[in-house]
Amino acid sequence: QVQLVQSGAEVKKPGSSVKVSCKTSGATFSTHAINWVRQAPGQGLEWMGGVIPMFGKRNYAQNLRGRVTFTADESTSTAYMELSSLGSEDTAVYYCARGDEMATITSSFKYWGQGTLVTVS
Amino acid sequence: QSALTQSASMSGSPGQSITISCTGTSSDLHGFNFVSWYQQHPGKAPKLIIYEVTDRPSGVSSRFSGSKSGDTASLTISRLQVEDEADYYCTSYTTNSTWVFGGGTKVSVL
């Protein structure tokens, strides 16, 4: 079955950057969009953006454009999310998620990683 | 892109039905059928329960159903059960090629 496994929790200083990984197993990696969603403590879900590895196509949430970068290593089926210029408002659980449909960002998020807590302090 | 609008909380008794609404705009809900609903229990990752307005992934209970009219999507939970107590989020694809989530609805089963 499809599994997404994320890297472990991080504690970062304000102004620094963080890079979270998301490794896919049990399914084709490069043809499906990997999306990133975050959730601040006690708050709702926020879509950050996504990437379709095979096409190198990236979409970004407007409010994060310029601070977030999505990359993908097809050789290891691993997607990465890097967020720079961290502030306290970036403290959140970060999730990767993907759908079932190939080559489209409109596929709903059927499979989720376990989440990675990033604390900025 | 503003968040979709959901009621903050709803409650019901076991066996009852509740309907959660999600209101958007012509730039998201009204213009697309890429509307999904997610259930999230405390400390867990969200779970997809409805996609493309009305479809249920394999393994999701038929007690969950979705619909849409104009700018508003709805999730109905029939025959409410204790394990349905969770947060529920709607999301829609948008004209900016992005996704936008609702603020979430906390469902309590009394």
Residue A108 has its nearest CB partner, among B36, B100, B102, at B36
Q: B89 and A45: CB-CB below 8 Å?
A: yes
- Reported as a single tens digit per residue, the pLDDT across B2-56 is 799 999 999 999 999 999 999 998 888 888 899 999 999 999 999 999 999 999 9
Q: Which residues does B92 contact at the CB level (< 8 Å), separation at least 6?
A: B4, B22, B24, B28, B29, B32, B34, B35, B36, B73, B99, B100
Residue A110 has its nearest CB partner, among B57, B89, B91, at B57
| Structure-model confidence comparison of residues A57 and A81, the more confident one | A81
pLDDT exceeds cutoff 90 at A95: yes
Residue B1 has what pLDDT? 67
Q: B59 near B48, Cβ under 8 Å?
A: no
Q: How far apart are CA A6 and CA A14, in angstroms?
A: 22
Whole-number average pLDDT of chain B: 95
How far off is chain B from A60, nearest CA to CA, in Å?
7
- Reported as a single tens digit per residue, the pLDDT across B49-85 is 999 999 999 999 999 999 999 999 999 999 999 999 9
Q: B52 and A108: CB-CB below 8 Å?
A: yes
